Structure 1
């Protein structure tokens, strides 16, 4: 009984948090679909924070902690660079081998159309990229989901951690299908698997993932804005 109760609690927490993300997103789709993802994950993160405190835990126990010591500080840069390399590698692989057969849905560009020629919307989406993409997605999917899955499965040894990484990647990819389509969801799922693997390799440290994710999101939004600016040819 003492072993079953924590595992059941972990499963309940996971279902509540992921279920909240799904329900709020569906409710938001008919109101403001472009912001359905950020709003739903904000609600999920608030609920996860409350559940962790109720269990006597903190986000530091789920990867959101800065390790002490100069060695950890020195490792942060190469870890972040490795994360960026994984992201670029997966993106290039998708564009080369999968995009011709499973292209990203047009909704992916429609979602960010407001950025065109609008510095205000650029700042808004950069903020969303940092807070939602960088922090909330990594906290919920890599930190909360992976570690709650291992708690439910009974530990992190053997096959349990790899299975948890694959499951969260599938969930992460499916979450993006509503505006990216099947092709985008598959690419995002593969990215999620790479992020999960890095989370494991970095000894459950979310910071390299957060920095890399926020940085690429910021760059992506900025490039969309710059591409939309009319270039005046010299007379």
Structure 2
């Protein structure tokens, strides 16, 4: 009986191996950047490549997207409530960070968002044609980030730390740190802000039934508002 349980129990080393492959592709693929395609298309290429790796390892481990939370919500009212709660929590965390960041025991470099926006999206200010052209890509990227950063990573990190009593806590923290770092490759106000958003999304995911739809909707709304602010 003991041997049978040993054979059927998930081996954390297998999931750690999956993550090594996943992160290797996720970071290395970003070394490929085709200027003529623009930031959105390159970003989708990076995310879709990473998605392909995630789906490969999911198939190997017999895990489906349904298992990770890509399923019909049980209640539309609850979905709206959770989505609104996520948005309120994100806004609150951004305000709190702005109020207390100067009290942190380390300095946080700030980035010029105007210049970064121009370099990523071209002449974006006042260009509504460009806005509506790239928004489908922005919304798709938002969806992919929730599938990968919350659905895939939290599940895989939990498996890696399954022998501990804090597997879920570690999973939420680690995916948030990676989410923030991946957007800037440094420690800056933007990486911390994005990390905080990832942390809130992770908490919402594990606390409210592990359904990805409220997170996807909230993420799409946040990015839509961010893009509107740049027009």
Normalising by the residue count of structure 2, what TM-score does the alignment of the two structures yield? 0.83
The Cα shift of 1:102 comes to 2.8
Equivalences for residues 133-212 of structure 1 within 5 A: 133=142, 135-154=143-162, 158-178=165-185, 182-212=188-218
What is the aligned counterpart of 1:83 among 64, 70, 86? 86
Deviation at 1:32, TM superposition (A): 6.2
CA shift, 1:128, in A, is 2.6
Select the residue among 120, 137, 144 that pairs with 1:128: 137
Distance (Å, rounded) in 2 between the aligned partners of 1:146 and 1:29? 31
Aligned-residue Cα RMSD (Å) equals 2.6
Aligned-partner Cα distance in 2 for 1:164–1:170: 10
2:3 maps to none
Relative distance call for 1:48 and 1:193 in structure 2 (3 A) is: same
Contact residue 150 and residue 160 of structure 1 kept, 8 A: yes
**CA deviation profile, 1:171-194 (whole Å, cap 9, x unmatched):** 11110114x862211121122111
- Of the structure 1 ranges 25-34 and 198-207, higher mean CA displacement relative to structure 2 is found in 25-34
How many equivalent residue pairs? Answer: 219
Distance 1:30 1:98, change over 3 A: farther
Change (3 A) 1:31 1:6: farther
- The aligned residue for residue 118 of structure 1 is 127
SS of the residue 1:176 aligns to: helix
Aligned ranges 1:5-20 → 2 under 5 Å: 6-20=11-25
Q: Name structure 1 gaps, 5 residues minimum.
A: 226-235
**Is the 2:117–2:230 contact (alpha carbons within 8 Å) kept by the matching residues of 1?**
no
Partner SS, residue 64 of structure 1 = coil
SS at match of 1:116: coil
Q: In 2 relative to 1, CA 99–50 (structure 1 residues): closer, same or farther, beyond 3 Å? A: farther
* CA distance, structure 1, for counterparts of residue 8 and residue 160 of structure 2: 10
Runs of 4+ deviating beyond 6 Å: 29-33
